[in-house]
Structure formats: C-alpha cells, structure tokens
Amino acid sequence: MKKRIADLPGFDMAQQLKSEEDIAAYITMVIEDGDAAELAHALGVAAKARGMSEVAKATGITREALYKALKPNAKPRFDTINKVCAALGVRLIAQPANLH
C-alpha cells in the first residue's frame, strides 16, 4: 500500500534537540552553511526545543519579541543572538577556517 506524502508525519527538528550538545551541533552545522537567515531560524528551533518561555525569561526578551527575532529570514542583532545562545547553554566561538 502506497503512502501519500501528505499522510506522513511532519518532522520537527525541535524534538531532536534534547541536550546542549544537540543544540550546539545543530547551531554549528547551520553556522558552517553561512546563511545568516537560517541561523536566526535555527536559534528559534532550539529555543522552541528548550521552551520559548524559559528562553525569554533567561534573556530578558519577551516571548513575542523572540518569536519575531528568530523567525525565518529575520535579522536579529548580535546581542540577541548572544543572549539566546547563553540561555540555550551554548556559545559561539571562532576557530581557524583551515581546521576543516
């Protein structure tokens, strides 16, 4: 029996992010792709995994402002990105490009 694509369950990346290590690996992968808009979206997915209310409280940013700042194609300020990363238990680091 064939299944239709519409009948398949949806994939929610947030359900896969169960630890800081998972979140760090996901965010690192997105950063390596070099798409700033995707980084905002990925941080939103990670915040959803952790709990948007919890992240909002930890950052001092309202839930509504976080949803707006972390939606696909958003351009959040670095300060916002840094606060969200800290709330998620991860940090952005720079490393020499020739390590890959």
Identify whether 34 is part of a domain.
yes
Identify whether 3 is part of a domain.
no
CB 46 within 8 A of CB 88: yes
Query: Could you tell me how many residues make up the chain?
Result: 100
Identify whether 50 is part of a domain.
yes
Determine what percent of the chain is predicted with pLDDT higher than 90: 53
pLDDT in tens, 15-47: 889 989 999 999 999 998 888 888 999 999 999
Looking at residues 42-68, what average pLDDT do you find? 94
Identify whether 68 is part of a domain.
yes
Question: Which amino acid is present at 36?
Answer: A
pLDDT at 55 over 80: yes
Identify whether 48 is part of a domain.
yes
Identify whether 5 is part of a domain.
no
Looking at the structure of the chain, the number of domains it has is 1
- Whichever domain contains 47, its CATH number is 1.10.260
Phi-psi region of 11 (alpha: psi -120 to 50; beta: other; left: phi over 0): beta
Identify whether 42 is part of a domain.
yes
Of the pLDDT bands very low, low, confident and very high (cuts 50, 70, 90), residue 54 is very high
Identify whether 44 is part of a domain.
yes
Reading the block at residue 80, the tokens are 């916002």
> What domain range includes position 64?
20-92
